[in-house]
Amino acid sequence: MASEELNPVYEELMRNYNAELTHSGVNGERLAKRLHELSFIGYTQVGGVKRPGLSDKEQKAKELVKSWMAEAGLSVTEDGAGNVKGRLDGKDSAGRAIASGSHVDSVPNGGNFDGPLGVLSALEVVEAWKETGYVPPKPYEVIIFTDEEGSRFNSGLSGSRAMTGDISEEEMNQLRDYNGETLEQVLERYGSSLEAFKKAKRDVAELELFVEVHIEQGKKLEQADQPVGIVNGIAGPAWLEVEFTGEAGHAGNTPMIGRKDPLVAAAAFIQKIPEFPSLVSETAVATVGKLEVSPNGINVIPEKVTLHVDIRDIYESPRDQLLDRIVQEAESIAATHQIELLVKQNTKIQPVPIDDELQAQLADSLKKFDIVPVYIPSGAGHDAMILGRHIPVAMLFVRSKDGISHNPKEWSSLNDCIAGIHVLKDFIEKKMEQ
């Protein structure tokens, strides 16, 4: 375990905390202590955390939060996929529940807020109710989803997909982790089984609404100087694999005229990509993040270049228009350079726009605390995106310092975190009374 000197999360959180934000049962010091305790699990020497999904570190973090859930009066269960549910029955124990939560796994050497803040925010709502004596009219659930980040299997959102039944048996059988182990082997070491993982599917119609608090992972709230914002949609990624094939040759002996260089074509293609998103939507983005050159010799004209394009928007129609434009551009460039083209679509996930009425209700809660509503599309995937295919979902973003995430420098001030919890609590209480 790291020393307090090397890991001063609590001290840094409390340094500039406005104690007046501790009210209505919401306690900033309690949140700071819990974020601090979690930060030791999987601690890395540069101040980050490493808690892969379905690892002993993720399991230890869950056990710690489960103990806090039990102390808060929640009935705690864990399914075969490792998803943890803490339930408060409320006055009508048979009614549909409102749920909130996130995850506690991380990317390698990630930060202390991505995931844990959402879990602890959801739990802090229960702590506040306990202190103020509020009994919700409907059931309330705090959920920790397994393996959201996907750093173990290179395929994330495993827990929420298992809960909703959105992961196929074929994928379960094909998954391999960074050690080459199957999902079945990993689950058995975790204390579960593949059969139990399959049985993790629940009737999500039991949930009226899921609301997730998450760090922004961007700079829009910083630019607007607001602590908390409203997510107006979660982008659905479409991934293209584009392969340009030409003719390999000696870099010195092959004349420039007549060359069929796939890397030149790929370069022209990459340069065109940034022009297209704004033509279809204000929220669309497209990125070439991976490039493979073969044979990749310094004195060899390449024979083949394979690149991967990540295309996203919070709206499905413009996202698909962008997808088509990019494919057409690849075809045009291949024809111009007289080289072969192969395009494969590897991923296509439906975006999840957030209901306008839910956004308006979140805005009312923000205004109650003198926060000006800022509407932000989420370019990253979240567990709320998976649940949003089946039930209504809402999301709040908490301001990220310098927009940094997935990094030990990831940071959100305690003032902003607690502001987010007050908004979450107010919003949930309004939904409880409807």
pLDDT in tens, 298-354: 999 999 999 999 999 999 999 999 999 999 999 999 999 999 999 998 778 889 989
Q: What CATH number does the domain containing 174 carry?
A: 3.40.630.10
Residues 334 and 264 in one domain: yes
> What 3 state SS string does 142-154 have?
EEEECCCCCCCCC
pLDDT in tens, 84-102: 999 999 999 999 999 999 9
Structure-token match 């030409």, residue found = 246
Residues 109 and 251 in one domain: no
In the numeric block, which tokens belong to residue 409? 């420098």
The stretch 221-238 carries a mean pLDDT of 95
- Cα 82 to chain centroid, rounded: 17
Asked if 289 and 276 touch (Cβ cutoff 8 Å), the reply is no
Residue 5 has pLDDT above 70, yes or no: no
* Crossing angle of the two packed helices 414-433 and 356-368, in degrees rounded to 10: 120
Residues 160 and 250 in one domain: no
Residue 151's pLDDT is what?
A: 86
Residues 283 and 378 in one domain: no
pLDDT classification of 146: cutoffs 50, 70, 90: very high
In the numeric block, which tokens belong to residue 270? 């990459």
Residue 322 φ/ψ, nearest 5 degrees = -65, -40
Residue 238 has pLDDT above 80, yes or no: yes
Task: Detail the residues annotated as belonging to a binding site.
Answer: 103, 114, 149, 214, 406
Please check whether residue 37 lies inside any domain of the structure: yes
Residues 400 and 337 in one domain: no
Residue that is last in its domain, among 327, 348, 369: 348
Amino acid at 342: L
Please check whether residue 150 lies inside any domain of the structure: yes
Q: Which of 59, 39, 37 is nearest to 159 (CA)?
A: 59
* pTM greater than 0.85: yes
How many domains in the chain? 2
Q: How far are the Cα atoms of 150, 288, 322, 337 from residue 330, in angstroms, in the given order?
A: 30, 13, 12, 11
pLDDT classification of 236: cutoffs 50, 70, 90: confident
* Strands across the sheet containing 340-348: 285-294, 304-313, 236-245, 340-348
- Return the SS3 of 176: strand
Residue 99's pLDDT is what?
A: 98
Q: Which residues of 107-132 are buried (b: 16+ CB within 10 A; e: fewer)?
A: bebbbbbbbbbbbbbbbbbbbbbbee
Please check whether residue 1 lies inside any domain of the structure: no
Residues 324 and 362 in one domain: no
Residues 293 and 329 in one domain: yes
pLDDT in tens, 182-217: 999 999 999 999 999 999 999 999 999 999 999 999
Q: What CATH number does the domain containing 334 carry?
A: 3.30.70.360
pLDDT in tens, 357-398: 999 999 999 999 999 999 999 988 899 999 999 999 999 999
Which residue range is the domain that position 88 belongs to?
A: 9-235+351-433
Asked if 90 and 140 touch (Cβ cutoff 8 Å), the reply is yes
Cα separation of 285 and 313, whole Å? 6
Cα separation of 359 and 367, whole Å? 12
Residues 133 and 255 in one domain: no
Please check whether residue 2 lies inside any domain of the structure: no
Residues 41 and 61 in one domain: yes
Residue 15 has pLDDT above 70, yes or no: yes
pLDDT in tens, 30-57: 999 999 999 999 999 888 999 999 999 9
Please check whether residue 59 lies inside any domain of the structure: yes
- Cα 190 to chain centroid, rounded: 23
Residues 43 and 119 in one domain: yes
Burial class (CB in 10 A: 0-12, 13-18, 19+), 272: middle
Cβ neighbours for 210, distance < 8 A, ≥ 6 positions apart: 98, 99, 100, 101, 143, 384, 387, 388, 391, 392, 393, 394
Cβ neighbours for 42, distance < 8 A, ≥ 6 positions apart: 49, 50, 51, 57, 61, 106
Angle at 305 between CA 276 and CA 296, to 5 degrees: 135
pLDDT in tens, 248-303: 999 999 999 999 999 999 999 999 999 999 999 999 999 998 999 999 999 999 99
Residues 231 and 247 in one domain: no
pLDDT classification of 3: cutoffs 50, 70, 90: very low
Residue that is last in its domain, among 348, 379, 408: 348
In the numeric block, which tokens belong to residue 167? 């992961």
Task: Detail the residues annotated as belonging to a binding site for Zn(2+).
Answer: 103, 114, 149, 214, 406
Residues 283 and 150 in one domain: no
Residue that is last in its domain, among 348, 380, 409: 348
Residue 6's pLDDT is what?
A: 58
pLDDT classification of 2: cutoffs 50, 70, 90: very low
Q: Which of 177, 195, 197, 199 is nearest to 186 (CA)?
A: 177
In the numeric block, which tokens belong to residue 150? 């996907």
Please check whether residue 4 lies inside any domain of the structure: no
Cα separation of 392 and 171, whole Å? 26
